[in-house]
């Protein structure tokens, strides 16, 4: 991990059925976040396009050209401002194939840097709405390794283990959820893998599950309490004494522990060890 700090704005977005309104609000938050010194701003699931069963009820109703135009404007603004933006949106595929549920990663140079496609879709999503993704997404900003995850994927520790093996420093988790347990699970993953988790939720569910930044020891570092469309700005500082134990002791130790050699080298051939039927 780099010794430099990273400033992340975690959005709590009010999503509309009007893609143009979503675009305007996303770009408004990007501008404000940059003015406050953010290196990156992170938005919820479906932030630009809207989410199925909430703003979208039929793919035939989606104006993909309009959506692309809003994304292009937002990409250009990222370059003008010099800020990274990670934006939830549906991503259309070729005719006959269902879209992906995705996170677009826009660079501070005004380019589409990469995209994450949700791999672990819900039962309804996989049967009625989406094509699943096939790979992790890891990218770097100012020396920080960042990963992406979406909503129901919080239920799959395999994904968070995989990102741990990729040595991510911060996971950008976007959701459209009203389940407080998702927040609890995110704290557990942050503490288990000793990485930050930017937890971005929609404003309509903020009363039960507000957007937040979770520190690498599992503590909530910052939380958005405003019900309206807003964001929180968090400084991720590896030199902060609050995270010293998690980053400099727990994280390297758990890496060794997961590799297993520290345990295998201490196995013994002992009859009392093998006998599970006696005290």
> What is the domain partition of the chain in residue ranges?
6-237
**For 124-183, what is each residue's pLDDT tens digit?**
999 999 999 999 999 999 999 999 999 999 999 999 999 999 999 999 999 999 999 999
pLDDT at 2 (0 to 100): 84
Residue 227: pLDDT above 90?
Answer: no
Q: How many of the other CB atoms lie within 10 Å of CB of 32? A: 15
According to CATH, the topology of domain 6-237 is Nitrilase/N-carbamoyl-D-aminoacid amidohydrolase (3.60.110)
Predicted model pTM: 0.96
pLDDT at 18 (0 to 100): 96
Residue among 267, 196, 209 nearest 7 (CA):
196
Instruction: Quote the tokens at residue 61.
Output: 């109703």
Integer Cα distance of 190 and 253 in angstroms: 15
DSSP state of 276: -
Integer Cα distance of 235 and 154 in angstroms: 24
- Alpha carbons within 13 angstroms on the beta-carbon side of residue 56 total 25
SS3 label, residue 46: coil
pLDDT at 226 (0 to 100): 79
Residue 1: pLDDT above 80?
Answer: no
8 Å CB contact between 75 and 112: yes
Distance of CA 84 to the CA centre of its chain: 14
């Amino acid at each position: 991990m780099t010794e430099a700090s990273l400033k992340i704005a975690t959005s709590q977005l009010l999503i509309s059925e009007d893609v143009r309104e979503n675009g305007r609000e996303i770009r408004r938050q990007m501008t404000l976040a940059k003015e406050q010194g953010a290196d990156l701003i992170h938005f919820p699931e479906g932030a630009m396009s809207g989410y199925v069963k909430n703003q979208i009820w039929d793919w035939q109703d989606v104006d993909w050209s309009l959506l692309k135009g809003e994304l292009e404007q937002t990409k250009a603004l990222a370059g003008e401002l010099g800020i990274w933006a990670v934006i939830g949106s549906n991503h259309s595929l070729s005719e006959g194939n269902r879209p992906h549920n995705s996170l677009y990663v826009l660079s501070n140079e005004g380019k589409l840097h990469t995209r994450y496609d949700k791999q672990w879709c819900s039962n309804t999503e996989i049967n009625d709405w989406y094509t699943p993704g096939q790979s992790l997404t890891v990218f770097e900003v100012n020396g920080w390794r960042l990963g992406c995850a979406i909503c129901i994927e919080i239920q799959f520790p395999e994904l968070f283990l995989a990102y741990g093996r990729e040595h991510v420093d911060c996971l950008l988790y976007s959701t459209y959820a009203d389940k407080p347990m998702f927040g609890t699970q995110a704290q557990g993953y942050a503490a288990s893998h000793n990485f930050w988790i930017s937890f971005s939720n929609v404003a309509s569910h903020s009363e039960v599950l507000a957007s937040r930044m979770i520190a690498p020891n599992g503590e909530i570092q910052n939380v958005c309490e405003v019900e309206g469309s807003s964001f929180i700005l968090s400084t991720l500082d590896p030199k902060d004494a609050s995270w010293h134990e998690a980053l400099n002791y727990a994280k390297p130790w758990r890496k060794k522990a997961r590799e297993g050699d520290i345990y295998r080298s201490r196995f013994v051939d002992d009859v009392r060890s093998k006998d599970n039927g006696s005290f």
